[in-house]
């Protein structure tokens, strides 16, 4: 038994200095837990082939590692080459399955189609799509939200999951699944994250609507709505004062670690969740509105 309030680091995070997006796991203090040692697999996803966007860091990296530990072959997508992507892929390879990486900008429909096709070719098929990649920036006034920024966030967070899901459904067979990363921001928006919150609300609706279409092929579509999670997103997009107290307002008095979210993605991809579709599961630290 372990007290969930003290299982992982609590704020203040006084040693963490903000840095520019997309951030770097190696620059984070404390280092996020992606399940490298804290997660033990049991073969739940043996034989599954999964595409995970934003698989280089944060929740995506944790999902990739946990999937690999569960016996899945994985394709990790990232925008560009980085130490994070190298480290994530290396950790996944420790567990024996196929591990592939693909670099590219999800804001391009043509690349989204290509990414799915690459996955099918290199892994021999596709069973699970995890739409996790996202982008955010803080703006204190609506006047400061540039159209270019709004467009970037919409393309990354909404268009890409649509394009990827559309193409993936040509390949995922009955029993497969699509899992979207939404957010508490889709239910309870922070004003300074207006564009990001807008996209996460849209993704909630997409999850529900797509589930009704995909189940005609025997494919389930669900989403996970994290609250504050300790990832490079945080020091990469927030002022230092916010970073220092990040997650302190939750019931646990701390942010989640990526591995604490990844376990939900494992369950949703597995046969254990065979009667679950069109649902959103919160991991918000007690902050999900009723």
Contact 156, 107 (CB under 8 A): yes
* Cα atoms found within 13 Å of the Cα of residue 184, Cβ hemisphere only: 20
Question: How far apart are alpha carbons 176 and 214 in whole angstroms?
Answer: 10
Q: How far apart are the first and last CA of the chain?
A: 28
Residues whose CB is less than 8 angstroms from the CB of residue 215 and which lie 6 or more positions away in sequence, other chains included: 221, 277
Give the DSSP letter of residue 150.
H
Whether 196 is a known active-site residue: answer yes
> How many C-alpha atoms does 19 have within 13 Å on its Cβ side?
14
CA angle 237, 229, 48 (to 5 degrees): 115
Closest-CA residue to 285 (of 243, 242, 253): 253
Give the other-Cβ count within 10 Å of 242's Cβ. 15
* Active-site residue, selected from the candidate residues 39, 67, 196, 265: 196
CA gap 99, 74 in Å, rounded:
5
Strands (E), the chain: 49-53, 73-78, 99-103, 128-131, 177-181, 220-226, 280-283
Residues labelled catalytic? 196
């Amino acid at each position: 038994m372990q007290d969930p309030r003290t299982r992982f680091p609590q704020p203040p995070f006084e040693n963490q200095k903000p840095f520019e997006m997309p951030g770097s796991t190696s620059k984070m203090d404390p280092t996020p837990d992606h399940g490298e040692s804290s997660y033990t697999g049991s073969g739940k996803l043996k034989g599954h082939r999964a595409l995970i966007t934003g698989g280089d860091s944060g929740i995506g990296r944790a999902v990739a590692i946990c999937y690999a530990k569960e016996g899945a072959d994985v394709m990790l997508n990232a925008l560009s080459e980085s130490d994070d992507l190298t480290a994530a892929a290396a950790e996944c390879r420790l567990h024996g399955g196929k591990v592939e990486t693909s670099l590219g900008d999800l804001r391009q429909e043509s690349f989204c189609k290509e990414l799915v096709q690459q996955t099918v070719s290199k892994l021999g098929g596709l069973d699970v799509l995890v739409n996790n990649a996202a982008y955010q920036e803080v703006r204190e006034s609506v006047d400061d939200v540039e159209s270019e920024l709004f467009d970037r966030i919409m393309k990354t967070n909404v268009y890409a999951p649509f394009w990827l899901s559309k193409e993936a459904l040509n390949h995922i067979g009955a029993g497969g699944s699509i899992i979207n990363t939404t957010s508490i921001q889709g239910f309870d928006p922070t004003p300074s994250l207006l564009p990001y919150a807008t996209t996460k609300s849209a993704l909630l609706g997409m999850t529900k609507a797509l589930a009704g279409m995909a189940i005609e092929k025997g494919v389930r579509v669900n989403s996970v709505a994290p609250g504050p999670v300790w990832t490079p997103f945080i020091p990469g997009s927030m002022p230092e004062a916010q970073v220092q107290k990040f997650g302190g307002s939750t019931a646990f008095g701390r942010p989640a670690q990526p591995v604490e979210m990844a376990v939900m993605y494992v369950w949703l991809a597995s046969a254990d969740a065979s009667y679950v579709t069109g649902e959103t599961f919160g991991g918000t630290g007690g902050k999900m509105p009723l």
